[in-house]
Amino acid sequence: MPSQRPAILLLAVFLASLTACANSPTAKNLEQLLAADSRLQSNPSVFSAPSPSPDNRPTPNKATGQLPGDFPQEIPLYPNVQLQPITSSTSTSNSALSSVRALSSDPSNLIASFYQKQFQTNNWRLQPSTNVSDGNLVAQRNDLQVKVSIQPKSVTGNANSTPNQPQTATEIVIQYSRNSLITATSSPKSDSPQISQPGNATISTNNDPHPISQPGDPQFIGPVPPADFAKQSVQSVATGNTSEFSDLDKAPSEFRQYIQNLTALGVLPLDSTAAKSAANTGFEPNKVTTRSTYARWLVAANNAMNTNSPAKQIRLASDSAQPVFSDVPRTHPDFPVIQGLAEAGLIPSSLSGDATAVLFRPDAPLTREQLILWKVPLDTRTALPNATLDAVKQTWGFQDVSTIDSRAMRAVLADFQNGEQSNIRRVFGYTTLFQPKKTVTRAEAAATLWYFGTQGEGISAKDALKLKS
């Protein structure tokens, strides 16, 4: 207590001073200074918690503009957006489709990651049609259906624009409805979104000024959805499970689990060429893989496995990019994927210094050495090691080392260093012949995509499904 004595003495002196000069001007000024705030008597809520808004709507998002009156509170709204004029609802016999459009200066991948995380952590069920890399998310929660389209958009300045207005922005279109299923399909004569009523014909809504882009549109980003895509989505949502391929029993037994996991993850949808009828839901596991098909699967698998790591995702090329390959123009359905791989330096092209790679040959069969050359860099995430014939022969023991392309040889050596997680071991098993020019089946191609990363530090399609659920 000795340390408190000076303070007590000082307080006593202070009180004595006030008593001695109670009527002095100094004392009166001090009394006014220490008096209670008179505003508390007339307005006791000055320091109380703020009153809730009239509609009890939480306002954590700093969005400017006005939301429709029927906008569901449970739909997440990305912050830092400017809401555009409200689109009127289109009523049907059972439900209504409404739209909200907004612009943000943030990049599209950041916004897509926000919505995917919000849906996954708030009991939303993402439909199989969801493709985060394309900026399209379709989710369901109880009787509420919502589709979020996220696309880059050019902003044209005008007289009312501020000097610092960005010239590029991201457009967010949120379509929502209750008691109906929103899909990404459109009628042949209209680009308008549709509401699919289970058991009924599809109802087209023609008054939406922001239609979903389709193949052939400038804003479309592939790949092309299969012909029976909508039917698969309806069945998947109704059962809660993703559809399985009807001919999975024809695949090698060691590959079936890989194909099932990748299908559930949305990496292996039916090709439009394979889906010639509603009854044809085969994967054709023993069919030869084309180069464009594997490029599409490779990007889809990598981005699906790294939804929480935007830095590891492959960016799709914009439709304004100058084509790298003369046989893959902007109108090609897989242009954004193939061009994106070239711009990332993951496939040989003139951008990577290979002046002879002027053709991509999208419909040509994929070979084993091409398979390893494209996939391994996404496992190691580092520069491939220098490789010699002797180094590859001593490690793998291949008898046909001399027939391997010099560019692919570095990837083959790096794949050996990945131990039991190497692509060659997982797909081809033990072999002393690599057969680099041999074509790859669709089942073999899928097996390479089941795991991304190095031994002890990677992620499988099975792990990605657990994170997604």
Residue 115 belongs to domain with CATH number: 3.30.310
Decide if pLDDT at 159 tops 70: no
Residue 235 lies in a domain: no
**Which one has a higher pLDDT value, 191 or 325?**
325
Last residue of a domain, one of 153, 186, 221: 221
Best mean pLDDT range from 100-114, 160-174, 197-211, 306-320: 306-320
Between the alpha carbon of residue 444 and those of residues 82, 85, 354, 372, 424, the distances in Å are 47, 50, 28, 12, 10
Model confidence pLDDT, tens digit, residues 216-265? 444 444 444 444 433 333 333 333 334 578 889 999 999 999 999 999 99
322 and 202 in a single domain? The answer is: no
Residue 16 lies in a domain: no
180 and 264 in a single domain? The answer is: no
**Residues of the chain with pLDDT > 90: what percent?**
41
190 and 310 in a single domain? The answer is: no
Residue 302 lies in a domain: yes
385 and 458 in a single domain? The answer is: yes
217 and 334 in a single domain? The answer is: no
Range of the domain at 313: 248-468
400 and 459 in a single domain? The answer is: yes
- Average pLDDT of 316-321? 93
Give the dihedral sign, CA 64/61/183/229: positive
- Provide CB contacts within 8 A for 281, sequence distance 6+: 228, 232, 243, 245, 246, 270, 275
Residue 7 lies in a domain: no
Three state DSSP letters for 233-288: HHHHHHHCCCCCCCCHHHCCHHHHHHHHHHHHCCCCCCCCCCCCCCCCCCCCCCCE
162 and 291 in a single domain? The answer is: no
Model confidence pLDDT, tens digit, residues 342-359? 999 999 999 999 888 899
Residue 401 lies in a domain: yes
Q: For the chain, what is the domain count? A: 2
Using CA atoms, how far apart are residues 181 and 196, in angstroms rounded to an integer? Answer: 5
| Residue 86: per-residue pLDDT | 63
Q: DSSP strand E in 374-454: where? A: 451-454
101 and 211 in a single domain? The answer is: yes
**Cβ–Cβ < 8 Å for 192, 205:** yes
Q: What pTM was estimated for this model as a whole?
A: 0.51
**Which one has a higher pLDDT value, 99 or 1?**
99
Model confidence pLDDT, tens digit, residues 385-429? 999 999 999 999 999 999 999 999 999 999 999 998 999 999 999
Task: Give the H or E element holding residue 170.
Answer: strand 168-178
Residue 50 lies in a domain: no
148 and 90 in a single domain? The answer is: yes
100 and 159 in a single domain? The answer is: yes
Residue 43 lies in a domain: no
Using CA atoms, how far apart are residues 301 and 462, in angstroms rounded to an integer? Answer: 12
Model confidence pLDDT, tens digit, residues 179-190? 655 544 433 333
Task: Give the H or E element holding residue 171.
Answer: strand 168-178
331 and 459 in a single domain? The answer is: yes
Closest Cα partner for 176 from 68, 273, 249, 84?
A: 68
Residue 267 lies in a domain: yes
299 and 158 in a single domain? The answer is: no
